[in-house]
């Protein structure tokens, strides 16, 4: 049953992702709530930070039941080990479903053990390391880049615990920042990738949330500035809708873009919306 909070959800959303077919110069993107983004190029579906746990505090319920998605996702990318990004409900369900469909899970290298504890076969888990490109198939590759979830966090081997992912396809390059703030050299590090679509968090931070141990992200103005400085063709805001105590009104982004970046594109996606991108 579809939800009134979603533009499209449940079976209708799953079927749309499954059935979407586009010319090779086009890329399909879906917003799945919080930091959840699905990308389809050709027949390959990559989903990032899919969050399906049905918590009472959610302002927006999960987009679908994972068991309805059998054979749909080829790759699940998780940016870091927080429940709304590396979601145990999602990963456990994926592990169970992998008996019939070989979905690969890509996580920061420090969290491969967590994925295996949740039931993933070690052969289906790929540990991502900064700037070590991962080829998904002949058309698509992923470049992990570092993310500063208020600060950089490395394990004892020097591997970053929080990542963003740059997904490169013939139709365009998409950057999913994960959870991050801006740091001094962030935009200079990202410019060489010639990013077309920048998916950036906008929920920001403040003293009350820090007191409650809620780690912050870019706010709407910072996301707009980062997108503008790296020359992204399109900005898609994320991480503002699922939890009321840690959200943001995307209208603030729209106002700032109108004032300071009137010639740049952005799109505030409805939950469950499909966006077709072409350069």
Say how many residues make up the chain.
279
Give residue 58's pLDDT: 77
Give residue 239's pLDDT: 83
pTM: predicted TM-score of the whole model, two decimal places = 0.94
Is 180 domain-assigned? yes
Give residue 1's pLDDT: 47
Give residue 266's pLDDT: 98
pLDDT averages per 10-residue partition of the chain, 279 residues: 77 97 97 94 97 83 91 95 88 80 93 95 96 98 94 95 98 96 96 98 67 70 97 94 65 95 96 96
Is 3 domain-assigned? no
Give residue 85's pLDDT: 80
Give residue 137's pLDDT: 97
Is 4 domain-assigned? no
Give residue 207's pLDDT: 47
| E-assigned strand segments in the chain | 27-31, 37-41, 44-48, 75-77, 104-108, 125-128, 134-135, 141-146, 163-169, 172-176, 197-201, 234-238, 265-266, 274-277
Give residue 55's pLDDT: 80
Is 5 domain-assigned? no
Rounded Cα–Cα distance for residues 101 and 30 (Å): 22
Give residue 23's pLDDT: 96
Number of domains in the chain: 1
Is 222 domain-assigned? yes
Is 1 domain-assigned? no
Find the domain containing 214 and state its range. 10-277
Is 2 domain-assigned? no
DSSP per residue, 15-78: HHHHH----TT-EEEEE-STT-EEEEETTEEEEES------TT-SS--SS-GGGGTTT-SEEE-
Give residue 34's pLDDT: 85
User: Could you tell me how far CA 271 lies from the centroid of its own chain?
Assistant: 14
Which CATH number belongs to the domain containing residue 73 in this structure?
3.60.15.10
Is 273 domain-assigned? yes
């Amino acid at each position: 049953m579809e939800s009134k909070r979603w533009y499209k959800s449940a079976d209708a959303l799953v079927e749309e992702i499954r059935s979407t077919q586009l010319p090779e110069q086009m890329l399909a993107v879906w917003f799945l709530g919080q930091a959840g983004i699905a990308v389809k190029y050709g027949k390959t579906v990559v989903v990032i930070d899919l969050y399906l746990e049905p918590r009472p505090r959610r302002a927006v319920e999960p987009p679908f039941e994972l068991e309805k998605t059998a054979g749909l996702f080829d790759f699940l990318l998780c940016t870091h080990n927080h429940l709304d990004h590396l979601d145990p409900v999602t990963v456990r369900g994926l592990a169970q479903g992998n008996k019939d469909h070989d979905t690969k899970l890509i996580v920061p290298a420090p969290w491969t053990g967590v994925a295996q504890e949740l039931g993933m076969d070690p052969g289906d888990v790929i540990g991502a390391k900064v700037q070590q490109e991962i080829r998904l198939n002949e058309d698509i590759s992923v470049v992990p880049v570092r993310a500063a979830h208020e600060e950089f966090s490395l394990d004892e081997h020097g591997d970053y615990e929080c990542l963003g992912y740059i997904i490169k396809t013939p139709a365009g390059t998409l950057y999913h920042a994960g959870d991050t703030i801006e740091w001094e050299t962030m935009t200079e590090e990202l410019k060489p990738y010639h990013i077309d679509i920048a998916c950036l968090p906008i929920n920001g931070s403040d003293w009350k949330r820090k007191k409650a141990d809620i780690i912050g992200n870019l706010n709407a103005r910072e996301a707009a500035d980062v997108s503008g400085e790296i020359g992204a063709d399109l900005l898609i805001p994320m991480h503002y809708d699922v939890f009321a105590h840690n959200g943001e009104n995307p209208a603030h982004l729209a106002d700032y873009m109108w004032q300071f970046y009137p010639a740049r594109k952005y799109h505030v996606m409805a939950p469950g919306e499909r966006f077709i991108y072409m350069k």
